[in-house]
Copies of this chain bind each other. A is one copy, B any other.
Amino acid sequence: MQYKKLLNRIHEIQDLRKATRVLTWDREVIMAKGGNADRTHQITTLQRLSHTLYTSDEMGTLIEAAANELNGVNYQSSEASLIRFLRRDYARARRLPSEFVSKASDINNDATEAWKQARERDDFSLFRPWLERVVEIEQEKAELLGFIDEPYDALLEIHEPGTSTAEVRTLFEKTKAELKPLYEAVLARRDWVDDRFLRQAFDVDKQKAFARYLAEAVGYDFDRGHLATAVHPFSTSLSRNDVRITTRYSPNYLCPSMFATLHEAGHAIYVQNVHPRLTRTPLAKETSAALDESQSRMFENFVGRSKGFWQVHLPRLQALFPGQLGKVTTDQFYRAVNKVQPNFIRVEADELTYNLHIILRFEIEQSLLNGTLQAADLPLAWNEKMEGLIGLLPPTDSEGCLQDIHWTLVGFGYFPTYALGNLYAAQFFQAVKKQIPQIETELAQGNIDSLLFWLRDNIHQYGRMFAPAEIIQQATGAPLSQEAFVKYAKAKFSEVYGL
Protein backbone atom coordinates (compact mmCIF):
# COMPACT_ATOMS: atom_id res chain seq x y z
CA MET A 1 0.00 0.00 0.00
CA GLN A 2 2.71 2.51 1.03
CA TYR A 3 5.00 1.15 -1.66
CA LYS A 4 2.20 1.44 -4.21
CA LYS A 5 1.67 5.06 -3.19
CA LEU A 6 5.37 5.75 -3.61
CA LEU A 7 5.38 4.01 -6.97
CA ASN A 8 2.46 6.11 -8.25
CA ARG A 9 4.30 9.28 -7.40
CA ILE A 10 7.54 7.97 -8.93
CA HIS A 11 5.67 7.06 -12.13
CA GLU A 12 4.29 10.58 -12.35
CA ILE A 13 7.74 12.12 -11.89
CA GLN A 14 9.29 9.73 -14.41
CA ASP A 15 6.58 10.58 -16.95
CA LEU A 16 7.46 14.26 -16.56
CA ARG A 17 11.17 13.57 -16.88
CA LYS A 18 10.71 11.42 -19.97
CA ALA A 19 8.37 13.99 -21.51
CA THR A 20 11.17 16.50 -21.03
CA ARG A 21 13.44 14.18 -22.96
CA VAL A 22 10.97 13.94 -25.82
CA LEU A 23 11.01 17.74 -25.98
CA THR A 24 14.80 17.75 -25.99
CA TRP A 25 15.16 15.01 -28.59
CA ASP A 26 12.70 16.84 -30.83
CA ARG A 27 14.60 20.10 -30.38
CA GLU A 28 17.88 18.47 -31.41
CA VAL A 29 16.58 16.41 -34.31
CA ILE A 30 13.38 17.91 -35.74
CA MET A 31 12.50 21.39 -34.52
CA ALA A 32 13.21 24.45 -36.67
CA LYS A 33 15.31 27.08 -34.95
CA GLY A 34 12.35 29.47 -34.55
CA GLY A 35 10.81 27.22 -31.92
CA ASN A 36 13.76 27.49 -29.57
CA ALA A 37 12.63 30.15 -27.08
CA ASP A 38 9.18 28.62 -26.51
CA ARG A 39 10.65 25.13 -26.27
CA THR A 40 13.07 26.30 -23.60
CA HIS A 41 10.09 27.56 -21.58
CA GLN A 42 8.34 24.21 -21.96
CA ILE A 43 11.41 22.27 -20.89
CA THR A 44 12.04 24.57 -17.94
CA THR A 45 8.44 24.27 -16.75
CA LEU A 46 8.50 20.47 -16.92
CA GLN A 47 11.84 20.31 -15.15
CA ARG A 48 10.62 22.65 -12.42
CA LEU A 49 7.47 20.58 -11.88
CA SER A 50 9.33 17.28 -11.66
CA HIS A 51 12.02 18.78 -9.44
CA THR A 52 9.41 20.26 -7.09
CA LEU A 53 7.57 16.97 -6.83
CA TYR A 54 10.78 15.01 -6.31
CA THR A 55 12.40 17.21 -3.68
CA SER A 56 9.22 17.79 -1.65
CA ASP A 57 8.98 16.81 2.03
CA GLU A 58 6.14 14.55 0.98
CA MET A 59 8.50 12.49 -1.18
CA GLY A 60 10.75 11.86 1.83
CA THR A 61 7.75 10.69 3.81
CA LEU A 62 6.61 8.43 0.98
CA ILE A 63 10.06 6.84 0.69
CA GLU A 64 10.37 6.16 4.42
CA ALA A 65 6.80 4.86 4.73
CA ALA A 66 7.43 2.44 1.86
CA ALA A 67 10.80 1.47 3.34
CA ASN A 68 9.11 0.67 6.65
CA GLU A 69 6.46 -1.41 4.97
CA LEU A 70 9.09 -3.34 2.99
CA ASN A 71 11.41 -3.83 5.95
CA GLY A 72 13.30 -7.10 5.51
CA VAL A 73 12.48 -7.57 1.83
CA ASN A 74 15.19 -9.28 -0.25
CA TYR A 75 18.12 -6.98 -1.15
CA GLN A 76 18.01 -8.35 -4.71
CA SER A 77 14.37 -7.36 -5.28
CA SER A 78 13.38 -4.38 -7.42
CA GLU A 79 11.45 -2.99 -4.45
CA ALA A 80 14.48 -2.98 -2.15
CA SER A 81 16.62 -1.62 -4.98
CA LEU A 82 14.23 1.24 -5.63
CA ILE A 83 14.20 2.21 -1.96
CA ARG A 84 18.02 2.07 -1.80
CA PHE A 85 18.30 4.18 -4.92
CA LEU A 86 15.69 6.73 -3.84
CA ARG A 87 17.13 7.20 -0.36
CA ARG A 88 20.52 8.02 -1.84
CA ASP A 89 19.26 10.08 -4.75
CA TYR A 90 16.61 11.98 -2.80
CA ALA A 91 19.11 12.89 -0.10
CA ARG A 92 21.50 14.17 -2.75
CA ALA A 93 18.80 16.18 -4.53
CA ARG A 94 17.80 17.76 -1.20
CA ARG A 95 21.39 18.73 -0.45
CA LEU A 96 21.43 21.06 -3.45
CA PRO A 97 19.14 24.01 -2.67
CA SER A 98 17.13 25.31 -5.61
CA GLU A 99 19.03 28.64 -5.50
CA PHE A 100 22.22 26.66 -6.03
CA VAL A 101 20.69 24.66 -8.90
CA SER A 102 19.49 27.79 -10.60
CA LYS A 103 22.81 29.61 -10.09
CA ALA A 104 24.64 26.60 -11.54
CA SER A 105 22.30 26.54 -14.50
CA ASP A 106 22.87 30.25 -15.18
CA ILE A 107 26.63 29.84 -15.02
CA ASN A 108 26.38 26.83 -17.29
CA ASN A 109 24.46 28.82 -19.91
CA ASP A 110 26.78 31.81 -19.80
CA ALA A 111 29.92 29.69 -19.68
CA THR A 112 28.71 27.73 -22.71
CA GLU A 113 28.26 30.94 -24.71
CA ALA A 114 31.68 32.23 -23.62
CA TRP A 115 33.28 28.88 -24.44
CA LYS A 116 31.78 28.91 -27.94
CA GLN A 117 33.17 32.38 -28.58
CA ALA A 118 36.55 31.55 -27.09
CA ARG A 119 36.79 28.44 -29.23
CA GLU A 120 35.70 30.24 -32.36
CA ARG A 121 38.21 33.05 -31.90
CA ASP A 122 40.82 30.73 -30.42
CA ASP A 123 41.09 33.06 -27.42
CA PHE A 124 41.24 31.29 -24.06
CA SER A 125 41.08 34.60 -22.18
CA LEU A 126 37.38 34.92 -23.12
CA PHE A 127 36.63 31.68 -21.33
CA ARG A 128 39.01 32.06 -18.36
CA PRO A 129 36.71 34.11 -16.07
CA TRP A 130 33.88 31.64 -16.67
CA LEU A 131 36.09 28.68 -16.02
CA GLU A 132 36.95 30.28 -12.68
CA ARG A 133 33.27 30.50 -11.80
CA VAL A 134 32.69 26.93 -12.94
CA VAL A 135 35.52 25.71 -10.70
CA GLU A 136 34.08 27.70 -7.79
CA ILE A 137 30.63 26.24 -8.23
CA GLU A 138 32.03 22.72 -8.57
CA GLN A 139 33.86 23.30 -5.29
CA GLU A 140 30.66 24.55 -3.70
CA LYS A 141 28.78 21.54 -5.04
CA ALA A 142 31.33 19.16 -3.55
CA GLU A 143 30.98 20.90 -0.16
CA LEU A 144 27.17 20.76 -0.33
CA LEU A 145 27.15 17.08 -1.28
CA GLY A 146 29.80 16.17 1.29
CA PHE A 147 32.74 13.75 1.10
CA ILE A 148 35.12 11.88 3.36
CA ASP A 149 38.51 11.79 1.59
CA GLU A 150 38.64 14.49 -1.07
CA PRO A 151 36.20 16.89 -2.80
CA TYR A 152 36.48 15.09 -6.16
CA ASP A 153 34.86 12.03 -4.54
CA ALA A 154 31.60 13.94 -4.14
CA LEU A 155 31.48 14.77 -7.85
CA LEU A 156 32.56 11.34 -9.03
CA GLU A 157 29.85 9.79 -6.87
CA ILE A 158 27.19 11.52 -9.01
CA HIS A 159 28.27 9.58 -12.09
CA GLU A 160 29.93 6.50 -10.56
CA PRO A 161 28.15 5.61 -7.34
CA GLY A 162 30.45 3.81 -4.91
CA THR A 163 33.69 4.55 -6.80
CA SER A 164 36.41 6.63 -5.11
CA THR A 165 38.88 9.03 -6.69
CA ALA A 166 41.72 7.05 -5.16
CA GLU A 167 40.59 3.86 -6.90
CA VAL A 168 40.31 5.61 -10.23
CA ARG A 169 43.70 7.20 -9.77
CA THR A 170 45.31 3.83 -9.17
CA LEU A 171 43.57 2.25 -12.15
CA PHE A 172 44.57 5.11 -14.41
CA GLU A 173 48.21 5.13 -13.23
CA LYS A 174 48.51 1.46 -14.06
CA THR A 175 46.75 1.92 -17.38
CA LYS A 176 49.02 4.77 -18.33
CA ALA A 177 52.14 2.84 -17.39
CA GLU A 178 51.13 -0.04 -19.65
CA LEU A 179 49.65 1.85 -22.58
CA LYS A 180 52.33 4.49 -23.07
CA PRO A 181 55.07 2.08 -24.19
CA LEU A 182 52.57 0.27 -26.44
CA TYR A 183 51.45 3.57 -27.94
CA GLU A 184 55.08 4.56 -28.60
CA ALA A 185 55.87 1.25 -30.23
CA VAL A 186 52.86 1.67 -32.51
CA LEU A 187 53.83 5.23 -33.37
CA ALA A 188 57.23 4.03 -34.52
CA ARG A 189 55.39 2.05 -37.22
CA ARG A 190 52.64 4.53 -37.92
CA ASP A 191 52.70 3.95 -41.68
CA TRP A 192 52.16 0.23 -41.24
CA VAL A 193 48.38 0.58 -41.72
CA ASP A 194 46.76 2.08 -44.82
CA ASP A 195 43.23 3.43 -44.35
CA ARG A 196 43.00 5.64 -47.43
CA PHE A 197 40.22 3.51 -48.93
CA LEU A 198 37.96 4.58 -46.04
CA ARG A 199 38.48 8.20 -47.05
CA GLN A 200 36.72 8.41 -50.42
CA ALA A 201 33.32 9.64 -51.57
CA PHE A 202 30.53 7.47 -50.12
CA ASP A 203 26.89 8.16 -50.98
CA VAL A 204 25.12 9.26 -47.80
CA ASP A 205 21.85 7.43 -48.54
CA LYS A 206 23.75 4.18 -48.86
CA GLN A 207 25.62 4.96 -45.65
CA LYS A 208 22.21 5.44 -44.00
CA ALA A 209 21.04 2.05 -45.20
CA PHE A 210 24.22 0.47 -43.86
CA ALA A 211 23.95 2.26 -40.51
CA ARG A 212 20.49 0.79 -40.08
CA TYR A 213 21.78 -2.61 -41.09
CA LEU A 214 24.60 -2.39 -38.53
CA ALA A 215 22.32 -1.33 -35.70
CA GLU A 216 20.03 -4.27 -36.45
CA ALA A 217 23.00 -6.61 -36.75
CA VAL A 218 24.05 -5.91 -33.15
CA GLY A 219 20.54 -6.28 -31.76
CA TYR A 220 19.13 -2.76 -31.60
CA ASP A 221 15.33 -3.08 -31.68
CA PHE A 222 13.81 -0.72 -34.23
CA ASP A 223 10.29 -1.55 -33.01
CA ARG A 224 11.26 0.25 -29.80
CA GLY A 225 13.54 2.93 -31.18
CA HIS A 226 14.44 5.25 -34.01
CA LEU A 227 17.62 6.17 -35.88
CA ALA A 228 18.04 9.84 -36.83
CA THR A 229 20.82 12.20 -37.85
CA ALA A 230 22.56 14.65 -35.52
CA VAL A 231 25.73 16.75 -35.70
CA HIS A 232 26.86 15.37 -32.35
CA PRO A 233 25.51 11.81 -32.15
CA PHE A 234 23.74 10.81 -28.95
CA SER A 235 21.24 8.30 -27.69
CA THR A 236 18.28 9.01 -25.46
CA SER A 237 15.67 6.96 -23.67
CA LEU A 238 12.13 8.34 -23.96
CA SER A 239 11.01 5.20 -22.13
CA ARG A 240 12.40 1.70 -21.89
CA ASN A 241 10.44 0.96 -25.06
CA ASP A 242 11.50 4.01 -27.05
CA VAL A 243 15.26 4.35 -26.95
CA ARG A 244 16.53 6.45 -29.82
CA ILE A 245 19.91 6.77 -31.45
CA THR A 246 21.43 9.35 -33.75
CA THR A 247 24.48 9.24 -35.95
CA ARG A 248 26.28 11.52 -38.38
CA TYR A 249 27.34 11.01 -41.98
CA SER A 250 30.51 12.27 -43.59
CA PRO A 251 30.29 12.14 -47.40
CA ASN A 252 34.05 11.51 -47.66
CA TYR A 253 34.83 9.20 -44.76
CA LEU A 254 33.10 5.99 -43.88
CA CYS A 255 34.05 5.58 -40.22
CA PRO A 256 31.99 8.27 -38.46
CA SER A 257 28.59 6.88 -39.43
CA MET A 258 29.48 3.23 -38.85
CA PHE A 259 31.13 3.59 -35.47
CA ALA A 260 28.88 6.31 -34.09
CA THR A 261 25.92 4.09 -34.97
CA LEU A 262 27.43 1.06 -33.21
CA HIS A 263 28.41 3.23 -30.24
CA GLU A 264 24.96 4.74 -29.78
CA ALA A 265 23.28 1.39 -30.45
CA GLY A 266 25.32 0.02 -27.56
CA HIS A 267 23.98 2.67 -25.20
CA ALA A 268 20.46 2.06 -26.44
CA ILE A 269 20.56 -1.75 -26.24
CA TYR A 270 21.45 -1.43 -22.55
CA VAL A 271 18.22 0.47 -21.80
CA GLN A 272 16.08 -1.55 -24.22
CA ASN A 273 17.05 -4.65 -22.23
CA VAL A 274 16.36 -3.31 -18.75
CA HIS A 275 13.78 -5.57 -17.08
CA PRO A 276 10.18 -4.52 -17.92
CA ARG A 277 9.38 -4.57 -14.20
CA LEU A 278 11.46 -1.38 -13.83
CA THR A 279 9.49 0.62 -16.43
CA ARG A 280 8.49 4.14 -15.36
CA THR A 281 10.95 4.14 -12.47
CA PRO A 282 14.38 5.78 -12.28
CA LEU A 283 15.87 2.27 -12.18
CA ALA A 284 15.07 1.77 -15.89
CA LYS A 285 18.41 3.25 -16.81
CA GLU A 286 22.11 2.36 -16.98
CA THR A 287 23.50 2.08 -13.46
CA SER A 288 26.39 4.52 -14.00
CA ALA A 289 28.03 6.58 -16.71
CA ALA A 290 30.96 4.16 -16.96
CA LEU A 291 28.72 1.09 -17.22
CA ASP A 292 26.78 2.92 -19.91
CA GLU A 293 29.99 3.70 -21.77
CA SER A 294 31.13 0.11 -21.37
CA GLN A 295 28.17 -1.00 -23.47
CA SER A 296 28.69 1.58 -26.22
CA ARG A 297 32.36 0.61 -26.39
CA MET A 298 31.43 -3.07 -26.32
CA PHE A 299 29.54 -2.70 -29.60
CA GLU A 300 31.71 -0.01 -31.17
CA ASN A 301 35.10 -1.59 -30.41
CA PHE A 302 35.05 -5.07 -28.94
CA VAL A 303 32.46 -6.22 -31.45
CA GLY A 304 32.55 -3.53 -34.16
CA ARG A 305 36.33 -3.28 -34.55
CA SER A 306 36.95 -7.03 -34.42
CA LYS A 307 38.05 -9.05 -37.42
CA GLY A 308 35.23 -11.56 -37.08
CA PHE A 309 32.61 -8.84 -37.28
CA TRP A 310 33.90 -7.69 -40.65
CA GLN A 311 34.27 -11.22 -41.94
CA VAL A 312 30.51 -11.42 -41.89
CA HIS A 313 29.53 -7.78 -42.59
CA LEU A 314 32.13 -6.48 -45.03
CA PRO A 315 30.53 -8.21 -48.04
CA ARG A 316 27.32 -6.28 -47.42
CA LEU A 317 29.26 -3.02 -47.33
CA GLN A 318 31.16 -3.99 -50.48
CA ALA A 319 27.88 -4.67 -52.27
CA LEU A 320 26.83 -1.08 -51.48
CA PHE A 321 30.19 0.41 -52.50
CA PRO A 322 31.77 -1.97 -55.01
CA GLY A 323 33.84 0.76 -56.66
CA GLN A 324 35.38 1.99 -53.44
CA LEU A 325 35.73 -1.26 -51.48
CA GLY A 326 35.39 -4.14 -53.94
CA LYS A 327 39.02 -5.21 -53.69
CA VAL A 328 39.57 -4.63 -49.96
CA THR A 329 40.26 -7.77 -47.91
CA THR A 330 38.80 -8.38 -44.45
CA ASP A 331 42.27 -8.12 -42.99
CA GLN A 332 42.94 -4.78 -44.68
CA PHE A 333 39.58 -3.46 -43.54
CA TYR A 334 40.09 -4.68 -39.97
CA ARG A 335 43.47 -3.02 -39.77
CA ALA A 336 42.26 0.22 -41.36
CA VAL A 337 39.43 0.72 -38.85
CA ASN A 338 41.97 0.14 -36.08
CA LYS A 339 44.61 2.54 -37.39
CA VAL A 340 46.20 4.56 -34.59
CA GLN A 341 46.29 8.22 -35.56
CA PRO A 342 47.85 10.61 -33.06
CA ASN A 343 45.44 13.50 -32.85
CA PHE A 344 44.84 16.52 -30.65
CA ILE A 345 41.12 15.83 -30.51
CA ARG A 346 39.62 13.39 -28.04
CA VAL A 347 36.47 12.59 -30.01
CA GLU A 348 38.55 11.61 -33.02
CA ALA A 349 40.97 9.47 -31.00
CA ASP A 350 41.50 5.79 -31.72
CA GLU A 351 40.90 3.05 -29.20
CA LEU A 352 44.49 3.03 -27.98
CA THR A 353 45.01 6.78 -27.54
CA TYR A 354 41.56 7.52 -26.17
CA ASN A 355 42.26 6.59 -22.58
CA LEU A 356 45.33 8.84 -22.53
CA HIS A 357 43.15 11.81 -23.49
CA ILE A 358 40.87 10.99 -20.55
CA ILE A 359 43.65 10.51 -18.04
CA LEU A 360 44.94 13.98 -18.94
CA ARG A 361 41.54 15.52 -18.23
CA PHE A 362 41.07 13.55 -15.01
CA GLU A 363 44.38 14.85 -13.68
CA ILE A 364 43.64 18.45 -14.67
CA GLU A 365 40.11 18.40 -13.21
CA GLN A 366 41.44 17.34 -9.84
CA SER A 367 44.10 20.06 -9.83
CA LEU A 368 41.52 22.70 -10.72
CA LEU A 369 39.15 21.48 -8.04
CA ASN A 370 41.70 21.33 -5.24
CA GLY A 371 43.22 24.66 -6.28
CA THR A 372 46.70 23.47 -7.21
CA LEU A 373 46.02 24.61 -10.77
CA GLN A 374 44.55 28.07 -11.50
CA ALA A 375 42.16 28.50 -14.41
CA ALA A 376 44.56 31.00 -15.97
CA ASP A 377 47.26 28.33 -16.16
CA LEU A 378 45.10 25.74 -17.88
CA PRO A 379 46.50 26.15 -21.44
CA LEU A 380 50.07 25.66 -20.25
CA ALA A 381 49.22 22.67 -18.08
CA TRP A 382 47.17 21.13 -20.89
CA ASN A 383 49.92 21.45 -23.46
CA GLU A 384 52.59 20.09 -21.15
CA LYS A 385 50.51 17.03 -20.35
CA MET A 386 49.55 16.57 -23.99
CA GLU A 387 53.19 16.50 -25.00
CA GLY A 388 54.09 14.18 -22.19
CA LEU A 389 51.25 11.70 -22.73
CA ILE A 390 50.50 11.79 -26.44
CA GLY A 391 53.62 13.45 -27.81
CA LEU A 392 51.76 16.28 -29.54
CA LEU A 393 51.73 20.00 -28.86
CA PRO A 394 48.33 21.47 -29.88
CA PRO A 395 48.95 24.40 -32.25
CA THR A 396 45.96 26.32 -30.82
CA ASP A 397 43.91 26.29 -27.61
CA SER A 398 40.83 25.48 -29.70
CA GLU A 399 42.52 22.20 -30.54
CA GLY A 400 43.76 21.99 -26.97
CA CYS A 401 42.09 22.92 -23.70
CA LEU A 402 39.04 24.49 -25.40
CA GLN A 403 38.02 21.41 -27.38
CA ASP A 404 35.45 19.92 -24.96
CA ILE A 405 32.17 21.41 -23.75
CA HIS A 406 32.38 19.53 -20.44
CA TRP A 407 34.04 22.26 -18.40
CA THR A 408 31.22 24.68 -19.10
CA LEU A 409 29.56 22.48 -16.48
CA VAL A 410 28.30 19.14 -17.59
CA GLY A 411 29.89 18.39 -14.27
CA PHE A 412 33.38 17.60 -13.09
CA GLY A 413 33.72 13.91 -12.41
CA TYR A 414 32.26 12.86 -15.73
CA PHE A 415 35.41 12.60 -17.87
CA PRO A 416 36.95 9.60 -16.08
CA THR A 417 33.83 7.53 -16.78
CA TYR A 418 34.77 7.39 -20.47
CA ALA A 419 38.02 5.54 -19.75
CA LEU A 420 36.47 3.50 -16.95
CA GLY A 421 33.90 2.43 -19.54
CA ASN A 422 36.67 1.02 -21.70
CA LEU A 423 38.13 -0.89 -18.77
CA TYR A 424 34.72 -2.28 -17.79
CA ALA A 425 34.02 -3.31 -21.38
CA ALA A 426 37.30 -5.20 -21.65
CA GLN A 427 36.71 -7.05 -18.40
CA PHE A 428 33.15 -7.95 -19.40
CA PHE A 429 34.30 -9.15 -22.80
CA GLN A 430 37.04 -11.27 -21.25
CA ALA A 431 34.43 -12.89 -18.99
CA VAL A 432 32.15 -13.53 -21.95
CA LYS A 433 34.97 -15.26 -23.83
CA LYS A 434 35.74 -17.41 -20.81
CA GLN A 435 32.11 -18.33 -20.11
CA ILE A 436 31.13 -18.80 -23.78
CA PRO A 437 34.21 -20.26 -25.47
CA GLN A 438 32.63 -20.28 -28.95
CA ILE A 439 31.60 -16.60 -28.76
CA GLU A 440 34.13 -15.30 -31.29
CA THR A 441 33.16 -17.98 -33.79
CA GLU A 442 29.50 -17.02 -33.34
CA LEU A 443 30.21 -13.32 -33.81
CA ALA A 444 32.19 -14.10 -36.96
CA GLN A 445 29.08 -15.90 -38.23
CA GLY A 446 26.86 -12.89 -37.57
CA ASN A 447 25.24 -14.50 -34.52
CA ILE A 448 25.04 -11.88 -31.78
CA ASP A 449 22.49 -13.65 -29.56
CA SER A 450 24.80 -15.33 -27.03
CA LEU A 451 26.54 -12.04 -26.37
CA LEU A 452 23.25 -10.14 -26.08
CA PHE A 453 21.83 -12.72 -23.67
CA TRP A 454 24.96 -12.60 -21.53
CA LEU A 455 24.91 -8.81 -21.38
CA ARG A 456 21.20 -8.75 -20.66
CA ASP A 457 21.42 -11.38 -17.95
CA ASN A 458 24.52 -9.97 -16.26
CA ILE A 459 24.16 -6.21 -16.79
CA HIS A 460 21.27 -4.76 -18.76
CA GLN A 461 18.27 -6.28 -17.01
CA TYR A 462 19.26 -4.80 -13.66
CA GLY A 463 19.20 -1.19 -14.77
CA ARG A 464 20.14 0.83 -11.69
CA MET A 465 19.25 -1.90 -9.18
CA PHE A 466 22.89 -2.45 -8.23
CA ALA A 467 26.07 -0.38 -8.05
CA PRO A 468 28.70 -0.77 -10.79
CA ALA A 469 31.03 -2.57 -8.39
CA GLU A 470 28.29 -5.09 -7.57
CA ILE A 471 27.55 -5.67 -11.25
CA ILE A 472 31.14 -6.35 -12.27
CA GLN A 473 31.89 -8.53 -9.28
CA GLN A 474 28.85 -10.68 -10.00
CA ALA A 475 29.40 -10.81 -13.75
CA THR A 476 33.16 -11.38 -13.85
CA GLY A 477 34.00 -12.66 -10.37
CA ALA A 478 36.42 -9.79 -9.71
CA PRO A 479 36.48 -6.05 -9.04
CA LEU A 480 37.32 -3.69 -11.87
CA SER A 481 40.94 -3.76 -12.98
CA GLN A 482 42.89 -2.40 -15.94
CA GLU A 483 44.32 -5.84 -16.73
CA ALA A 484 41.77 -7.04 -19.27
CA PHE A 485 41.95 -3.82 -21.23
CA VAL A 486 45.75 -3.77 -21.28
CA LYS A 487 45.88 -7.39 -22.37
CA TYR A 488 43.30 -6.78 -25.09
CA ALA A 489 45.05 -3.63 -26.37
CA LYS A 490 48.46 -5.31 -26.41
CA ALA A 491 47.17 -8.30 -28.35
CA LYS A 492 45.16 -6.26 -30.82
CA PHE A 493 47.65 -3.55 -31.65
CA SER A 494 50.57 -6.00 -31.73
CA GLU A 495 48.64 -7.92 -34.37
CA VAL A 496 47.56 -4.83 -36.33
CA TYR A 497 51.03 -3.30 -36.28
CA GLY A 498 53.03 -6.52 -36.48
CA LEU A 499 54.89 -5.76 -33.26
**A interface residues, Cβ below 8 angstroms from B:** 11-12, 15-16, 18-20, 22-23, 26, 30-39, 41-42, 44-46, 49, 221-226, 238-242, 279-280
Contact = CB atoms under 8 A, between A and B. Distances in A.
A279 B35 CA distance: 12
Contacts of A38: 18, 238-242, 279-280
This chain: how many copies in the complex? 2
A410 B425 CA distance: 52
A24 to B, nearest CB: 10
Contacts of A37: 241
A19 B223 CA distance: 24
A46 to B, nearest CB: 6
Closest 5 CB pairs of A and B: A35-B242, A38-B239, A34-B224, A15-B45, A15-B42
What is the predominant secondary structure among interface residues of chain A facing chain B? helix
A241 B26 CA distance: 14
A23 to B, nearest CB: 5
Contact of A242 (B16, B34, B222, B223): B34
10 contacts: A12-B45, A15-B46, A16-B49, A19-B23, A22-B23, A34-B221, A35-B239, A38-B238, A38-B239, A49-B49
Contacts of A23: 19, 22
A354 to B, nearest CB: 32
A115 to B, nearest CB: 26
Contacts of A42: 15, 18-19, 22, 239
B22 A225 contact: no
Contacts of A35: 224, 238-239, 241-242
Given A22-B23, A26-B22, A15 B41 contact: yes
Given A12-B49, A35-B224, 14 more contacts: A11-B45, A12-B45, A15-B44, A15-B46, A34-B224, A35-B241, A35-B242, A37-B241, A38-B238, A38-B241, A38-B242, A38-B280, A39-B242, A41-B280
A242 B38 CA distance: 8
A240 B36 CA distance: 11
A242 B37 CA distance: 10
Contacts of A44: 15
B280 A32 contact: no
A245 to B, nearest CB: 12
